[in-house]
Structure 1
């Protein structure tokens, strides 16, 4: 590797390690030296094994007192396949390991044809199978199961008593819960509250002056956390049966900036496709703003694949991040390097790399010149880009920033003048005239700067390639280096290395993009891959293999279509549509001043939970009458939200009804009016695919391997999300639910009244997708505990189906063989390929304008320093003299942000603030000192950890601590108080320090101006000794 390495001496970190782990070492010593009375002579205080395998013969002897089941984990958003050990007598979960059938836990994973007995043997000493096929789970996965029996769990419906956020609740019956939230009334002695029935108005407009806002039903909003395999049922109810437009996930305050930047390159701002490095075959990977094996998704598989590549000498990688993580491995020091960088400045580094690539002939122009997939494949390429497509580059032209289309120049089109799919994109022909992409049979010119006649006027057109090259050359290498803090020689070394491995190199990012320049930083990172043409290549930028169709109009059941299905209408609450399509724009344009809008709009973004609260309380575009939180915790997760909107959330006059569905009381649903309990971890059903990073198809099956601890409905079902929405649908007589809610493939109506009705039939679709799977044997069902749900399988499914679905549960899902990752006919290509173009110039972004300024956005990767919504640089408002540091967060290797796993807090009870030795010395701080960390948005007291593994001028906060709920505050439920465990509140949360955006009048917290995603990296800060 050509990059200069700076060794990191972490003396401060070692001291903190010794201090933090001294108690743990003491407990270990006690365990060895303590009394052993009553303990097994071989296992001591440990658990008896779940089975024994004769190392000589491979004969399996199961433990008759334990059950081993394959299912899915929910300890973090990776949702790995796991094996769960259960005490048969008590139903208690003893331990969790990896599922050898799942590629998220095992490399290579077992084929589906392997019997369950063979899968157990594969984990043993027999023929050293357990070493070759090691199947693991992480610390989070094992620790998170403690939540199932947590004393802080919500087990029955709760209704608040007294003011919101007072911590006072009363248990109520399921019937009372459903009646009150449906019918409304004077529910709390504070005045009338509309119930869900009254709010489901599908006809009356919210605002007659702005009919595009949609009907009143849109004033019911829903925020959900990660898709845990149940999200599509939630969407079926809230959007397609109830009818609201406003159902959003948590991405805008998770890693949404990266997804939005990737969506620009892949040309889809709603689904936001993205790719990952093919770590099984890559030679060089650049991780920017993500720490492999520590963060990202799937973090466990990524870490394992990285270790394999590092060990066999094939793979080298660099992690560009303000803070050093465990991705930098001393055992293979020359294979993995760390390059520190200022938070929020990744785009400067990447655009500098691009400049070097352009100036040194390292851009793969032969690849970029292919204007279509047909031309690309004829030239041996599995993907193509829009680099040669023509873009209108005429300031003042109404279509400036948009691609030139056939209708612009009078070419006959299938839908003349509509700019639809039939209206062709154009490249420059050999004769100097525009040519439809579809008719091009050879590479097209890349460096075009010309004019075309549009309506009798000469209009400038350029290619996306030319525009990107101009963007990269806009600053010098020295200017880029000064912005990001990375020396020029390191930048050029990275560019040289990245472009020296053919297609077996890759650049990827993730949560580090959540800054005030997040969208363009992310767009730049993913565009690097296009410049070397690595998409769909073995060892390059690989698409996810995807799953097997389950919630679909499938081969056995139609779980998508139903009579009365609603297509939600109206403007999303998050304003993630073009401002220019609104009545407000039309009025202001007619008045002669279309800009600024009242507030920012985000045309290049998906659903934005980050804008829900500003919209709801400011009434722009409209307010909310009810908010449903399902497993969501935006108050903890969105920087600055609690400080800005905490008082509003506590006021029922501003938001009349808040309903939460959650197994625990968190920082957000502490403000709720009602809490509906929910299943947790291994009590629940679900079907999940890999988020990304697995090149083969896979589908993880989650099922109740233990009986839910929850209270029951009158008909004996656990009270949870599913039974709650079933009851709401029944009470309001909504379509798509009830005795005829579903249909089989022949159109016969079937019930949707129990969770099994949905999940088992989804499993049938998956089992019959393509080549149907085999039938499960009685032995496999007995060994995995699936025999316990056999009555449900037989009752819901058809005789020929149920054993095939049972097979999926005995394997913990359905998994394509590992050897099918590459194309059978082109072994250097990936089997799962992205067939659409990569947008070097995104006309969706480049044709849009900032709603506050009227200035067009750049449609290609570019460097823009972190700024507020109107483009004002953050440092122009919060100067370095006042706020000399930059604060950021990084993912904890142990603690998950959505839970407090007490087995982990015993090892790692709090997070310290990581401070560079020079910054600490300037403030007379040492490891273990108490200090005040302040930003313009707040101030917290913290413990200092002095460490060379952080960029100078940067302080870093490990995310997942600083909770004020989830057991950190005891609530009173009925006549009893929860346990008082203040130690669960240890540490700090960087989101308590988030900023408001002064250029929006302080109406909302600081979000990225293009993607609308929250800003938690690069916060202006100062630090002083307490």
Structure 2
């Protein structure tokens, strides 16, 4: 029998049925077929759901989102089609964000520890009791030294309230998580061209060099940038070449995946530069006009970095290096992207600098399809603002790492243990170093269990993570769908401002962070006599947001915060074209980005009172404000001299090479034949420690076997699924093997985000009984539907600390390990780290700091450097 031909519309009409469902069919069809976003219909009730725009915060990309609610409960999250960056799309993590609000083990009330730290015994207390106790601890600490009050945060998207809080207390001891994230990438870029990130114009590029970034899956800005990568491939026939130790999703999408020996990305990049300069393929005009070196200087410097030299170190064939150099230099426009691959090493800042030199020397900077400066927007802070603390903090600005502008937080436990700085009260916010940092429980767990070193630990968290489980006091923060926050991420070529706003009422007695901090200050200074309360005179989170947004030029005229509450983002550049998936203006044409930002001309007002120096530098008030080129007064780059600094003179002050260079990891040179390098990576549905308790994501990925090459597996007599033991200098773990061609033969690689021992019943698979803890958990019958029995193995316990002496980054991918077939006493899930061995690793990495005894050995080319004694330290930052 021949079936009738059914189009989608016909099928929907036939399936609508009779009665109420049939009556609503036309409305449903209109919503589903003609609207790109902003409307949604309940499939059971046929009622239009309430839509509230916001910005995601499952990870740090801040995608534009819309929450759909029925009866004040979020039932779905989608992308916001008015958001110029993410254009109506959310990734799997963003789509599942409501499960942060509805986590059955979410902390809903203030809790006080009543047993030993980590014993899991809590007493529910009132907010007044919690604030009174905390105020007493803070008051005592303030009388001794404000810097004994410490706050360490992970993701801080509060728009300034964290810093305002600590400045109000007079403490400079604010530490972030950036040294385990991307600090050496930032420090490699900032002195070179100003910003700490780039925005490659993938959509218009013809050629992309990708060093160690998994941009399609887990890298910074992966949703907005992966869209543009796809467009570049489809619309532009863009070629992508990826250098990586692992066949990531991005490497698999690339035209070429080139396995490279870990930490040698910089050597390959320098050799590519050597070929470009040797064959005169560089953009000489751009180099001579917009950098602080000449082509002649660059050619002389790069002579040493031959393809033969790089091939011996990296394993990449000479002919491959030479071919790619020619392709990249002669295919215009071209761009480059990096992330943790080059940067998370002992000398990661050098690697990042070497990579970013390639678009610089070929002139592919701020051009359509090129390597572009980030576009961001700012907002004012509420006035008055507290002043800076009276004294600097050792932990915030360690004197051995003066160039590490984003701190060296992963060394903090060792410095506290050494007595470098006393801590009386420790705050943690959106952070979990007991799980996420090198050494994990063996280092940070030991620190927090020592009540002499950390007398009072306060966690501002909605979740019982590994660090929160060791706290003395837990103040229940709100997940992102319940709080106000300002937002602007440079994740597209069009700048934007956005908000997170509460899409539903806060559950239990949780309070959003800025309100919580206000309440602490008001408890300390109820009548304002201490001068603190004046900085926290706002009614609620929305009132605070009005201080940010109601006076931003342009936004003010559009309606300020009220506009953002309605749209979630400003400005609205156009509408999403359903045929192209791109944003179009009122004429139907795709919106075009602005390029050449460094060539913008200074206004007459800018030039009033300015002086043009002989070299073209335009100065005003003692500062460079631009450069004169071709008779035009250009703004230049956002650096101190308004040029791209190929030569970073500040690095030379501390005995580091100011020019692009490469330093091999010393212990990689002495590896034995049976040793491997351990690397870690992220899957697209997980993010550090915060997603294992999200039921949709945990069901997709819940185990993390160790990737190893068939060559390695054959030597060990191992096949996929077999247990292996991985021994590092500081500990060991036992996990399962995954044998694949998609990994370098000298590497074993483990996904992170697995193997929790806290974070609730789902993350730990302690779900057989779905009944929650009355003090904070909730009943959730859906936990009975968990069918998997493998939570994975966490690798961080066995990874020792390494600190880039320039950028401060943790060397996540530097650990040399020995892998063997598991023995009779090895059990799946074993993970042990040794504190004493971690201390040895800490002492070893300090030897590479500019004050350490190995610094000169690693930099023989800087023989004329006078040594650390010649360096003038900033006030408060001395030894």
Report the TM-score when normalising by structure 1.
0.67
Corresponding position: 1:508 with 2:330: no
1:660 is aligned to 2:491 = no
Match of 1:1025 in 2: 821
Alignment CA distance shift 1:258-1:358 (3 Å): same
Shift of 1:758: 0.5
- What CA distance in whole angstroms lies between the structure 1 residues aligned with 2:204 and 2:269? 24
1:407-442: per-residue Cα shift (whole Å, max 9, x none)?
A: xxxxxxxxxxxxxxxxxxxxxxxxxxxxxxxxxxxx
Match of 2:407 among 581, 584, 607: 607
Task: Work out whether 1:86 is the aligned partner of 2:13.
Answer: no
In 1, Cα distance between the equivalents of 2:772 and 2:409? 30
Distance 2:192 2:599 in 1: 25
**Does the CA contact (< 8 Å) of 1:78 and 1:297 recur in 2?**
yes
Q: Contact 2:39–2:51 (CA<8 Å) still a contact in 1? A: no
The corresponding residue for 1:821 is 593
Q: Does 1:197 align with 2:174?
A: no
Q: Compared with structure 1, are the counterparts of its residues 647 and 508 closer, same or farther at alpha carbon in structure 2 (3 Å cutoff)?
A: closer
Q: How many residues align?
A: 732
How far did 1:957 drift?
A: 1.3
1:926-968 deviation digits (Å, cap 9, x = unpaired): 1122211221122112121111111111111122212222124
* Aligned match for 1:912, one of 672, 695, 705: 705
Q: Within 5 Å, which residues of 2 pair with 1:764-783?
A: 764-766=550-552, 769-770=553-554, 772-774=556-558
2:387 and 2:267 map into 1 onto residues whose CA distance is: 45
**What is the 5 A alignment of 1:366-377?**
366-370=285-289
Match of 1:709 in 2: 507
Change (3 A) 1:824 1:218: closer
Equivalent position SS for 2:469: helix
Does the alignment pair 1:385 with 2:177? Answer: no
Report if the CA contact (8 A) 1:575-1:601 is conserved.
Answer: no
Identify the residue that residue 164 of structure 2 maps to in structure 1. Answer: 236
After superposition, give the CA deviation of every residue in 1:42-100 in whole Å (9 maximum; x if it has no partner).
Answer: 999xx99996417898899874352122111112111101111111x2x2211111100
Give the aligned partner of residue 827 of structure 2: none
Correspondent of 2:648 among 835, 842, 862: 842
Residue 1017 of structure 1: CA displacement? 1.0
Q: Displacement, 1:328? A: 4.0
Partner of residue 730, structure 1:
522
Deviation of 1:274 after TM superposition, in Å, equals 2.4
Greater mean deviation of Cα atoms: 502-511 or 836-845: 502-511
Whole-angstrom CA distance in 2 between matches of 1:509 and 1:696: 21
Query: 1:826 and 1:1013 mapped to 2: Cα distance?
Result: 29
Instruction: Give the match for residue 628 of structure 1.
Output: 427
Deviation at 1:512, TM superposition (A): 4.8
Structure 2 partner of 1:574 = 395
Contact 2:413–2:443 (Cα < 8 Å) also in 1: no
Contact 1:265 1:527 in 2 (8 A): no
Match for 1:289 among 212, 226, 242?
A: 212
CA contact (8 A) 1:536 1:834 kept: no
Which one of 803, 817, 822 corresponds to residue 1007 of structure 1?
803
For the 8 Å contact 1:735–1:741, the answer to whether it is kept is no
Aligned counterpart, 1:255: 182
Q: Is contact 2:61–2:491 with CA below 8 Å preserved after alignment?
A: no
Give distance in 2, aligned partners of 1:964 and 1:96.
29
2:325 is aligned, of 459, 480, 495, to 495
Mark the CA change 1:324 to 1:57 in structure 2 (over 3 Å): closer, same or farther: closer
Mark the CA change 1:943 to 1:512 in structure 2 (over 3 Å): closer, same or farther: farther
1:223 maps to 2:152 = yes
String of CA shifts for 1:716-741, please: whole Å, max 9, x gaps: xx433223211211122269998854
Q: Deviations over 1:850-889 (max 9, x none)?
A: xxxxxx11112211012xxxxxx1236xx42276111101
Q: Secondary structure at the match of 1:545?
A: coil
Note the C-alpha offset of 1:482: 1.7
Seen in structure 2, the aligned counterparts of structure 1 residues 741 and 220 have a Cα distance that, compared at 3 Å, is closer
Asked whether the 8 Å contact 1:289–1:321 carries over to 2, the reply is yes
1:752 aligned residue: 538
Unaligned runs of 5+ in 1: 1-38, 107-134, 184-194, 205-215, 371-383, 389-445, 448-465, 553-558, 580-599, 712-717, 743-750, 776-803, 849-855, 867-872, 996-1004
2:269 is paired with a residue whose SS is: helix
Structure 2 runs not aligned, ≥5 long: 1-14, 42-46, 574-582, 584-590, 602-633, 823-879
| 1:503 Cα offset (Å) | 4.8
The normalised TM-score by structure 2 is: 0.77
In the TM superposition, residue 823 of structure 1 has moved relative to its aligned partner by: 5.2
Task: Identify which of 337, 340, 354 aligns with 2:259.
Answer: 340
Give 1:606 shift. Answer: 2.1
Q: RMSD value over aligned CA atoms?
A: 3.3
Equivalent residue, structure 1, for 2:30 = 53
Residues 985 and 637 (structure 1), Cα distance of their counterparts in 2 relative to 1, 3 Å cut: farther
Q: Measure how far apart 1:508 and its partner are.
A: 3.4
Q: In structure 2, what is the equivalent of residue 144 of structure 1? A: 97
Equivalent-residue separation in structure 1 for 2:530 and 2:329 (angstroms): 53
Contact 1:169 1:972 survives alignment (8 Å)? no
Check whether the contact 2:482–2:512 (CA below 8 A) recurs between aligned residues: no
Q: Which residue of 2 aligns with 1:647?
A: 446
CA separation of 1:560 and 1:329: change in aligned 2, threshold 3 A:
farther
Q: CA deviation at 1:682?
A: 1.1
Match of 2:465, SS state, is coil
Q: Give the CA deviation at 1:608.
A: 2.6
Alpha-carbon distance between aligned partners in 1 of 2:370 and 2:329, rounded to the nearest angstrom: 12
Counterpart for residue 618 of structure 1: 418
Q: CA offset at residue 705 of structure 1? A: 0.8
* Cα distance change of structure 1 residues 815 and 993 upon mapping to structure 2, 3 Å threshold: farther
Q: CA deviation at 1:763?
A: 2.8
For residue 987 of structure 1, give the secondary structure of its aligned residue in structure 2.
coil
1:73 alignment partner in structure 2: 56
SS at match of 2:462: coil
Change over 3 Å in CA distance of 1:318–1:832 after alignment to 2:
farther
Q: Is the 1:263–1:273 Cα contact (8 Å) retained in structure 2?
A: yes
Mapped to 2, the partners of 1:984 and 1:220 lie a distance apart of 42
1:99 aligns with 2:99: no
CA distance 1:50–1:166, shift in 2 (3 Å): farther
The answer to whether the Cα contact below 8 Å between 1:662 and 1:675 also exists between their aligned partners in 2 is yes
* Residues 159-187 of structure 1: per-residue CA shift (max 9 Å, x gap): 1122212222111111111111111xxxx
Q: What is the CA-CA distance between 1:676 and the residue it aligns to?
A: 0.9
